[in-house]
Structure 1
Amino acid sequence: VLLGICDLLDRLKPRSDGKPYRNLMESVTDRPGHDRRYATEAAKFKNQTQWKAQVPFEIGLEKTVRWYLENKAWCQDVQGKGYTGQRLGLAKSQG
């Protein structure tokens, strides 16, 4: 998914330095409680709920990326409400 987002941004909003967005990706050390992978059973969910995607994943991803690019004011408003990207949900140590 991340590589798909990078590729979409390369096409829809190229970086001013001309480099691909993939160059901004960094690997980080595992955090406490980090899942090594996220396994889902989409077929089971679809069968139980009769859910069906209205658009193919790739089209939905592009529509989502375009929405964020076209709604910068909303993004800035959300970011201005105090969240600075810090890790949330860490338990406080007792001691």
Structure 2
Amino acid sequence: MTDINVSTANPDDIYAWDAHDTRQGRQVCGVTDRPEQATRRLADALAELSPDAWGTIRAARLECTPKHDEFRYGRVLARLRLNPASGQLERMRRG
């Protein structure tokens, strides 16, 4: 797998990943405290979806309140796709 750095400088951040497959109408997502695990899980999810699937990894924080807990999502750290020829994750170009 291509080395894609998605770490943030904030040790309190966690990493939310999601894979989108509009062809099959599927979405897979998860959260982890390790950036390399988010990258690996996203790659695994994309490998199970159609070749035009794509995904994101974003910074997140868990906010705990007396009523409920919720994730607060930050900026997108990477937009990625799996190259079907090489099996490697690639950053998506904007535009």
Provide TM-score, normalisation by structure 1: 0.26
Provide TM-score, normalisation by structure 2: 0.26
Q: Which has the higher helix share?
A: 1
Larger Cα Rg: Structure 1 or Structure 2? 1
